[in-house]
Each structure stands twice: as C-alpha cells, then as structure tokens.
Amino acid sequence: MSEQIVVRQNRDFETEILAPDPHRPDDPQLHPVKHIYHLTPYGMLLAGLATCTAIVLHTYAQNHGVDLQEVELRLWYERVFADDCRDCEAIEEYREQIVEDITLRGHLTPQERQKLLLISRHCPVHKMLHQGIEVVSRLVEPS
C-alpha cells in the first residue's frame, strides 16, 4: 500500500494540497484537494504533517529574516516489508514509513537550507509520529 500527497505553501501561508483521486485508485495523477473528505485517512495524516511542517518553516523564516518564498512537501506513506524477508506472504509484520521530500524556494544560502531542514523536524506532528504517541480509546454513552 502506498499513499502520496503534495502540499505547497507560500510565504503568506496560502496552501495548496494535491492528492490522488480516492475514487480512482489506479489513476497516478495528483489533483487539487477542494474538501477534506476527498482525502483518505492516510492522506489526511500526510496533509497534517506537511502543512504543519510548512507552517513551522515559514514562521521560522519570517522571524529570522530568511528569504523563504515557498515550501513544497511531497510525502509518501508506505508499508515496507523487511529487506531480509524470504517468505513475505507468511509474515504479518512490516514497518510503516513516511518519506518526506522538502523543496525550499527563495534566495537561500546552503547554510539556511540546512538550518531549515533541521527546523522542519520541530513540527509538533513530526515529533508525535517520530516519538510515538499513545492513543487511549474509551466508549462514552451519549448524553
């Protein structure tokens, strides 16, 4: 299983989300997302991570005089079997992975680009996913 999403955000925090059409899973083309219900649950997770990262990057850039014009994040969610899997059909365990390609547009020095890469990891959603978070589910009676 694989899911892909692209988020573009300019320095005014105007955000564009591109994702596959959930009604046509065989269509590899990405389309503008007009409503959140056009995303799969995995797409929503990726969009949350990407938009949070973009906001953190633009906020840092504006507060530190960095000429960051636009951020484009291309994210993939994949389930990856272990590299040494000999009989993958019999194994129920695999690792889940999000790959995030970050494109920074603006008049940036190599040092600023590297600093922004480090800053991107300060997104709260990134931290939750990286460090793990416990989910406690409870059944509550309607009021």
Task: Determine the Cα–Cα distance for residues 115 and 57; give it in Å rounded to an integer.
Answer: 10
**H-type alpha helices, the chain:** 41-63, 110-120, 124-131
Do 29 and 19 form a contact (C-beta atoms < 8 A)?
Answer: no
CATH 3.30.300.20 fits 2-84+91-131, yes or no: yes
Global confidence as pTM: 0.84
Distance CA 77, CA 96 (A): 7
Q: Which residues, given as ranges, of the chain have pLDDT below 50?
A: none
Residue 34 is predicted with a pLDDT of 87
For the chain, the structural domain boundaries read 2-84+91-131
